[in-house]
Amino acid sequence: MRIENYLYILNGELKSSPAITRLGGVSSNPSKIKRGDLFIAKNKKDVKKAIQRGAYGILYEGWIEIEDPEIAWIRVKSIDEALYRLFRYLLIEKKIPLFLLDETEFDLCRYLVDDERALFEDEIENMLANLDKADLFLGKESLFKTLQIEPASRVKPVEIKVVKKSLFETSFLLSNRFYERIPIPALFFDELKSVLSIIEHHFLNFNFAKLPFNHFRPHFINRKFEVMEFGKGSRAIITEPSLNLLNKEWDYLQKTAPWAKKIKIAESDFDKVKEILYNSDFTYALIHSKEPDMEKLKITRETKSLF
């Protein structure tokens, strides 16, 4: 791409008089720079190495020492903002469809899709690096404010015939194939149908074996809070990383297991969570936790003296 086009797209200012007129791809990793590329100088200490590797341009913000005036030094107010502008331009130019998903749909896609043709929202440098292999882009709904691109139209959700369901698992028929005891509760089946319609429409490879799904995830325990095999413990701690889904899951738990003793904990302080759990009689405890360390809940001599 010509330098003036990069300047327009990035909303950048050329701070040198380069001997070259075109730039190749972009990368923030100096080890992956190819001759002619534009180096994203998030770490300015890597600039010298990028130039040695053959970078024809340096994208930076703030102040930087111009070491080689014959390459293009492009200054922007914000590197991230500039890269999103470039990503938006390339999505449109390559006609890559954009799907904006809600929180549950996005996480289902991340867990199910096993295909490099599907590009997921990530760090912007990674998104740019993998764009050439992509047939479609899957992002969160909040990304629309940044990209301002009309998302692709959704196709009709696929039909799933539920054969058997429990609180945490579902067995079902999809496209005449039987899937047994998939660890996705019926609570999320509308989102699953929507995700599978995208997967099938674009012939993406997917794999239920990548699960367990991280939402409404049960950890079965015994009376000493030691983690047991699925379904083996006398009770379960159900972890949910998203505070937004906690009430929806609580309602589902109330309706699906009316016989069970249940508690809901939205507390973020781990010691307080432990105290509540240790002093509660429950069958199911639904707690807000992004990365639960169940080992820390085990009752030891020390914890007995504390609680």
From first to last of the 307 residues of the chain, give the pLDDT tens digit: 999 999 999 999 999 999 999 999 999 999 999 999 999 999 999 999 999 999 999 999 999 999 999 999 999 999 999 999 999 999 999 999 999 999 999 999 999 999 999 999 999 999 998 998 999 999 999 998 888 888 999 888 899 999 999 999 999 999 889 999 999 999 999 999 999 999 999 999 999 876 678 899 999 999 899 999 998 888 999 999 999 999 999 999 999 999 999 999 998 888 899 999 999 999 999 999 887 778 888 876 555 545 4
203 and 222 both lie in a single domain: no
**Residue 213 pLDDT:** 83
**Residue 233 pLDDT:** 84
**Residue 47 pLDDT:** 96
The answer as to whether 88 is a domain residue is no
CB 37 within 8 A of CB 25: yes
Which CATH number characterizes residue 27's domain?
3.40.1390.10
Domain ranges, residue 28:
3-79
- Domain boundary (209, 244, 271) is at 209
263 and 295 both lie in a single domain: yes
164 and 194 both lie in a single domain: yes
The answer as to whether 245 is a domain residue is yes
The answer as to whether 7 is a domain residue is yes
The answer as to whether 85 is a domain residue is no
52 and 137 both lie in a single domain: no
How many domains, in total, are found in the chain?
Answer: 3
- Domain boundary (149, 176, 209) is at 209
